[in-house]
Structures are given as structure tokens and as C-alpha cells.
Structure 1
Amino acid sequence: MGSKRNTKLEALLAEYGYTHQQLAEAVNRTAENLHGTPANCTDRHVRRWIAGDVQWPWTRYLLPLQHIFGRSSEDMGFVPRKSSRVPPLPRRSAPVKERHTMPRREFIAFGLVAALGLDHIPSAGRLGSSDVERIRVIVPALYKYDHAMGGGALHDVATEALHRVQSAVNRCTYGDRVERLLYSVMGDLAASAGWFAYDAGRQANATDLYNQALQAGMLAGDGMLQARVWSNLAMQARLLHRDKEALRIGRAAVETRQAKSDPWLMSLLHCRQAVGHARTGDRTRAQRSLARAETAYDRAQGHPAAWLSFLTPAELTGLAGAAHHALGQHRRAERLTASALEMLEPRFERNRVYYTVQHAQALLDNGDIEHAATQAGEAVSLAGRVQSTRVQDKLKDLRQHLQRHANVPAAAEFLEQARQMGA
């Protein structure tokens, strides 16, 4: 009979934000505090405990683990043998959970490599269409995490998946049809990894990945993939304050045959163009693009591609709010963004933080400092759950704007809250 995986211990690592290596180091530190000597624990020990290869660790490991998690050995998923001496649970205060972004991100990446089956991507032999389909499902799975946590948690694992697929393309054999499919799925992964890098603030990495996606899209003859990348490049140019360049790239994407045949994509492109026109002060074109986005969305049927799954009525309304805000129509922007937040589904946690900040900024620009500070406080409370440098930068800008109103009690209260939370 095979080993039974220790899911209780695995869940504790996730809850406390430990990687395998970090837990091993914590065991050694705790052992040294308890006994004067480290336990010589390594990440290999932790992996074997989780895999169930070792169901009852040595006491020199169990006692530190009990101190770290404040749980009995059995509550940590270990199974004693008849001859095992069960250490008593130490009397101590509740453990302090580690909530550092980097350890959490590393743990998520490590767990997703296994959960997504990246280890099973072939590195030799002949590939068929079934192999491609197993790879293709990686992207929809990644986007479910992206909506909740942001790209900072996913860039590394998406890049790792891309490298493994690139290795398969270079080392395996396959026919012409499978070759095109492989390049298409490889481009899908590259574009996704590029988006996660963009959201994580790694713009040089994002540009490189987008270029890889464009090349793969051309080799696959996948026009939809190419249009998607152009759309993301336009958004990146706007983030970098190259508004006219963003509009030119977006216009090229709108004119593609693929965009014209996909209402979901066309709706998104027109929304983003609306924001671009608004940022350059062209009210007429901004309003025209918003109207075209609504028309295209009304024609959309079925379900969009995974990367477009965020495109809901809430998103369209939020983008319209962003356009009106850029035009200086702050009252209209506030109402639209508030409506977007009401419609936004719970699964879109990152976007909820984003639009809460947008709502606060619109309120502030409209002179409603107290309500703006309340919304800003809500954004700070939510922001700890997502890993998006793009969102954090937006929140940082809002905080600087509220700093100018530090004499207002509500603003001062928010600034103190943000200081205490390290926002």
C-alpha cells in the first residue's frame, strides 16, 4: 500500500505561509532554543513528512513542530506507531502566523507546480493532441488564482510552466498539426506569464514574455493570440505613461480580423481605447469607444476565453468609470465605480481592491474627503489578500493624495491605519 499524504501538515504550511525550507529552518531554530542544539532538519525531511513517507518523525523534530504550530502530533497529521513515545503538547501561547508576502508567494508557486501537474509535462518521446490538451488546461487554472490573488503569486509558476513546454517542443517529436497546437498553447502560457509579470510590476519581464507570445502566435498561425498580446502591450504602454503609443497599439488590435469576429475581445479593446482617449483629453472619441464596447458586449454569447473571464458587466462599468475620471467627470466616475463594486463577484478580489481605490480617488477629486478616506481604509483592509504591485502602486498614489488633507480627521485616521498596517 502506498504512503498516505499528510494533508493536515500540508494545510498548516499553507496557513502559516511556510515553504518546505522555511519550516525546516524554523524547526532548527526552535530546537536550538529548546535544547541548545539544532535538529539538523532539511527541506527533504519536510517533503517526506508531507508525502507520508515518514508518518512519525523523531522526537527532536516533533517537539519543535508542536511549539511552532501549537498542535499535538496527531493534529499535525502524524500517525504514531505502537512503540512511539508521544511528546506532551507544550504549554505556550498561540503561535504567531507568518504573513510575509514573499514566503506566501513561494509556497503558492511550489504548490501549484504539483497541483497543475507540471512535473508530468513530457520531456522526451512523441507528443499527441491529448498531451497538448493536458497542457492547455494550465492557463484557465492559473487565471482562477489570478482573479483572487493577483499576478505576484503566479508569475514564477507560469514562467516555470512555459519553460517546461518549451523544453518539450525542443526535445520531443510530433506531427505538423500538433506542432501548431504546441506553439499556440506555448503562446497562451507566455501571454499569461506576461500578464502576471505586468501585474507584479516586472515590466521588463512582461515585455520579453509578450514578445515570446507574439512569436509563438505567428508560428501557430493564431491570430487571436496575437490580438490578445497587442491588447496587453497597449495596456502596458498606458501604465508606463505612453498614452499615444497605447492608442496606436490598441487601434491596430481593434482592426484585426480576430477582434472583429470575437465580441468579447472587441468589447475589451474598445473599453481600453476609451480610457486611452480620455487620458489624452479626447472626450468625443472616449464616449464613442464606450458605446462601441457596449454594443460589442451585447453581441457576446457563450463563455469567453480564460484570459477574458474577468470581462463582466462590472468590469465594463468600472472601465467606464476610469474613462470618466480621466476626463475630469468625477461625480459620474464615482457613481459608475460604486455601481461596478456592487456588481463585482466575490471571486474577483484583486479587482475589488483596484476599484475600491478608484472609487476613493473619484470621491476625493469630487471633494468628498470623509467618504474617500472611508473607501481608502476599506481598500487597505482588502489589499493584504492580493499580490499585485499595480494595485499597491495605485493605493500608494491615493495615500499621497490624502496626505494633503491630513488636517481632516477622517483622512488622518486613514493615514494612521495605513501606517500601522504597513500599506
Structure 2
Amino acid sequence: MDTQRNAAFESLLREHGYTHRGLVKDVNRISARIFGRPGEATDRHVRRWVSGKVRWPTTRYLLPLVEIFDRPPEAMGFVPRGASSRLPVPPPRAADREEDDVRRRTFVVGSTAATVAVVLGLDETPVSGRLTFTDIGRINNAIGRLDAHFNAIGGGPLLTAATAYIDRLRDAVDGCTYGPGVEKALHSSISSLYSSAGWAAHDDGQGDLARLHHAAALQSAILADDRRGQARAWSNLAMQARTEGRHREALQINRAALDSRQARQDPRVAALLHSRLAIGHARAGDYPAAARSVLAAETAHDRFDTAEPAPPWLRFLDAAEIAGLSAIAHRAMGRLPDAEIATAQALQLLAPNMRRNKAYYGVQPAELQVAQGDIARARTTAAAVDTSALSSQHISDRLTHVHRTLTTQEPRP
């Protein structure tokens, strides 16, 4: 097979004054720090990178090269394998791997803000010195763990931790040095964190704070030129407007997000936006448009590339979540039996680790049964909802409202 010499990489070696042997020494040193074992790169590896025989180095050498030259792989002339062009994520350190099970148990039994920060390693992000793409990878790993714990326990203890981590990353913006590529990646990470904090605030019943976080997420995504981050922020702002009863505004925001290039190109983003648009149309009274949006969401879901992993913030969006959002739309349209069927499907499909969503959709059948006058079944359903391991004011308020309503109702004969 014909190969093309990597002139960009060769130019970098000259610009930084590297010999092949000198580069190998630094690559192996950084590889040992990242992966916990000595690197094994040789002069031959460098020759193959320069000649183009190796178009995309293995992660063990690619991450050190990114750190050394402070630019993404493509800017070094490397060509990604397959459809994905994402930078590999650095592995957790050995100590983190050894303590992971203990940390997870600690998190579940002691979910205070201080515990969250320790478990997620939020205090390990540097706020001075040189910031590299390796650091960005670790930051994104921490945010991904934050999102995973939200799905497990809700937003209560995560809100303070997320807000503190935002402050730390903003300190990194001002206190660290970095290249333009790292700068954009850092703003993208901050946008993602703001979105996570917004959801935690929403789950904790703090709507005003949630709106501020979602607006800040949009601003950071714009600074990063992150189209996916912008679509995410717009979607969250639409959800927040709908929660506050501003349905027309929610529809306008949602439509704007759907017109973005990211929504047109990414079926996961499209599925989320169409699902939320369906709810918006339903609550605004446009039932035919709501039904079309439900269908569009399901169609987008069918186009998911299962070989391509979802970004951490979108991992919750699976067949279960699509069914759950469809149930909310059906409920808003007054189609209560359809809503109950879709909710049951969501609960059946939800993964065991999605405890927060299990409780969220677990309350919904009881609400639907109350609305249909099936009080006896609603009592049984509500009693089965387990929120003991959660910290979600939003879910607790809904369940409390159901129980309060049931105390004033008589079972249907």
C-alpha cells in the first residue's frame, strides 16, 4: 500500500529541535507517567511515524505526543482509524483502579459533597503550570463520573461538588498556560460541567440556579466552538423554560437547536431534541405536531451507530429514555393509557445502575393511575417506589404529592 510521508510531524521535530532518539526518551518518560509502566518506543517507531507507515500511533504513544507538542493528533499529521477522530482517553491511574470499588461503596453510603469530591478526584485537576490534552482527558473522565453518579443517586450532593469543580476549572483557565487547542477543549469541558450542574440544580429543586448554569454552558460552548455542547445547552434551556411554564419559549429554543448542524448530523442529539420537542408541542396543545415529533425521535433512535460510543452526557439516552420521554408527551396529550404503556416499557428497559431514572419513571405510573381514578393500584405503585438511596428533591416532591393526593381519595370499587 502506498504511504505518504508525514511532513507535518517531520516539521514539528525540526521546530522543537528533536532527534529521533531525543523524542523517544520523552515519549517513554511521559508514557510511564500516564500508564504506570515504562514506555517501549524506539527510533524505529519515530521513523514509521515520519514515513507515514503508521498513520495513527497506539494510545500508549499518541497521548505522550499530544502532550509533548501540545496539539491534537490531526494537527501532527496523523490520520484516525475508522470513523472516529476522538482523542483516546487516558486510563485511570493504578491507585485509582485499585481503590475504585472502595470509592464506589463509599459514595453510595456517604454521599456528602465532600465525599463526592474525593470519590471523583475533583481536587486533582491542576490550577497552575502547563495544561495539556492529557489533563483535559482526565477532566472529562471526572465529569463523566459525575454524570454517572447523577444517574445513580440524583442531583442533591452533586450540585455543590459540580459548582466547586466549575470554580476549579475557571481557576485553571486563569492560572495555567496552554495552547489554543487545549484552550478550546477546556472551555468545552467547562460547558459540559455547567450542563451537569444545571441538571443537578434542577433535580434539587433550584430552578433559577439551573437556568443560570445552562446559560453559562451555552456561553462556554460558544467559546469552545463546540457544536454538540451548544446543542446540549439549547436543549437544556428549552427544558428549563418548559418546566417553568414558558411553553412557547421552550418550543422556539428547541426548534433553534434542531436547526443546528449538530442535530442534523448526530442522530443521538436529534433524538433527544425531538423527544423534548414532542413534550413542548403537547403542552402547548399542538397534538399532531407532538405525535410527529415522537415519531421523529424514534426514527432518530433507530439510526444510532451502536459501534460508536455515546459521549458520557448522552449515555442515558437509550431505548428506555426514548420510551420514557414519549410517555411524558402522551401524558401531556391526555393519552393516559398510552403514557402508562410507554412508562412500563421504559421501566422494563432501564439498566440497573440508572437508579435515579428508575425512581423518576417509577413515580409516573402512580401519577397516571391517580389521574385515571385507579386509586387502589396507585397506592400499590407508589408504595413500591424506592427513593431511599437517592438525593433528588424533584422526585421526592412528586412522590409526596402522589401520597398526599391518595390520602384524600377513596379506592375505586
Q: Which secondary structure does the structure 1 equivalent of 2:253 belong to? A: helix
Change (3 A) 1:15 1:224: closer
| Aligned pairs for 1:26-37 within 5 A | none
Give the equivalent residue in structure 2 for 1:80. Answer: none
Deviations 1:77-127 (A, max 9, x none): xxxxxxxxxxxxxxxxxxxxxxxxxxx442xx2223223222221121121
Q: Is the contact between residue 273 and residue 289 of structure 1 (CA under 8 Å) also seen in structure 2?
A: yes
Q: 1:294 aligns with which of 292, 298, 303?
A: 298
Query: Cα–Cα, structure 1 residues 340 and 120, in superposed 2: closer, same or farther, change >3 Å?
Result: closer
Deviations 1:155-204 (A, max 9, x none): 11111111111101101111111111111111111111111111111222
Q: Which amino acid aligns with 1:165?
A: L
Q: How much does 1:396 deviate?
A: 2.6
Q: Which amino acid aligns with 1:224?
A: R
Q: Is residue 408 of structure 1 aligned with residue 405 of structure 2?
A: no
Structure 2 segments unaligned to the other structure (5+ residues): 1-94
Aligned pairs (5 A) from 1:211-226: 211-226=215-230
Q: What is the CA distance between 1:16 and its match in structure 2?
A: 11
Give the one of 183, 204, 216 matched to 1:200: 204
User: 1:328-351, CA deviations, whole angstroms, 9 ceiling, x for partnerless residues?
Assistant: 111111122112211111111111
Aligned: 1:142 with 2:127: no
Deviations 1:264-312 (A, max 9, x none): 1100111111111111221100100001001111111122211111111
Q: Is the 8 A contact 2:347 2:362 kept in 1?
A: yes
CA drift of 1:404 comes to: 3.0
**Could you tell me which residue of structure 2 aligns to residue 118 of structure 1?**
122
In structure 1, the partner of 2:311 is 305
Partner residue, 1:370? 376
Which residue of structure 2 aligns with residue 227 of structure 1? 231
2:366 aligned with 1:360: yes
Letter in 2 for 1:126: R
Query: 1:137 & 1:15 partners in 2: Cα distance?
Result: 17
2: CA distance between counterparts of 1:376 and 1:178?
49
Aligned to 2:167: 163
Distance in 2 between the 1:119 and 1:183 partners?
A: 18
List aligned pairs for 1:377-396, cutoff 5 A: 377-379=383-385, 382-396=386-400
**Alignment of 1:338 onto 2:344:** yes
Q: Distance in 2 between matches of 1:119 and 1:288?
A: 46
Kindly indicate whether the alpha-carbon contact (under 8 Å) linking 2:116 and 2:157 is maintained by their aligned counterparts in 1: no
Tell me, yes or no, if structure 1 residue 284 matches structure 2 residue 299.
Answer: no
Q: Which moved more, 1:392-401 or 1:137-146?
A: 392-401
Q: Conserved in 2, the CA contact under 8 Å of 1:331 and 1:363? A: no
The residue number in structure 1 matching 2:67 is none
1:248 aligns with 2:241: no
Deviation at 1:15, TM superposition (A): 9.2
Gaps of 5+ in 1: 18-103, 411-423
Q: What secondary structure is seen at the aligned counterpart in 2 of 1:154?
A: helix
> Match for 1:292: what amino acid?
A
RMSD: 2.2
Distance in 1, matches of 2:395 and 2:303, equals 31
Matched, 1:258 2:257: no
Matches of 2:370 and 2:195, distance apart in 1: 36
Residue identity opposite 2:336 in structure 1: H
Aligned residues: 311
Whole-angstrom CA distance in 2 between matches of 1:124 and 1:387? 34
Q: TM-score, normalised by structure 1?
A: 0.70
